[in-house]
Amino acid sequence: MRKVILVISFVLGAFFSSNAQKFAMVDMEYIMKNIPSFETANEQINQISKKWQSEVEVQMQEVQKMYKNYQTELVFLSDDMKVKREEEIIAKEKAANELKKKYFGAEGELFKKRQSLMKPIQDEVYAAIQEISKDKDFGMVFDKGTSMNIIFTSQKLDISDLVLQKLGYSK
């Protein structure tokens, strides 16, 4: 019985001591703000987004104008004309909503543009983090900028500047 308890204690002790992991923190927002190509890509995306938003707003204003005209002329229209105008308004509104979905939907043009501009930069940052983690034997790296559960982190654990150096940028 003593041998069994001794073996179990030894195995548990070895297990817990081998699971001691080193970890580090990064601030992805800080890293990205210090990469000029990220800021340039972000500005391009903002400009494209504003342009597309104005296109959608123009179409929605046309729908509103059509609807206001319809309401003012409603008393003078025959039933057939009312139906025709309502269908035109609905079709125009549907086209505006489809354009909005095309640009800003889950798989829309803005998403694709963001992926094409941002993903290479993000991949480069993640590769640098992985390389540093491997070199320094970190078991985990947390992003302190997005984690809601982290209340305090020591500056010693923050490797954000090291990641920027690895990428060839200085702070």
Instruction: Report the percent of the chain where pLDDT is more than 70.
Output: 83
Q: Is residue 80 part of a domain?
A: yes
* CB atoms inside a 10 Å sphere around CB 131: 12
Whether residue 90 is contained in a domain is answered as yes
**Domain presence at residue 1:** no
Domain of residue 147 covers: 22-167
Question: pLDDT tens digits, residue range 70-107?
Answer: 999 988 889 999 999 999 999 999 999 999 999 999 88
Instruction: Confirm whether 147 is domain-assigned.
Output: yes
pLDDT at 144: 80
The 10 Å CB-count burial string (b at 16+, else e) for 37-67 is: ebeebbeebeebbeebeeebeebbeebeebe
Is the pLDDT confidence value at 158 over 50? yes
The answer to whether residue 17 is domain-embedded is: no
Number of separate domains in the chain = 1
User: What pLDDT does residue 161 have?
Assistant: 86
- What are the pLDDT digits (tens) for 6-33? 445 554 454 444 455 788 888 888 899 9
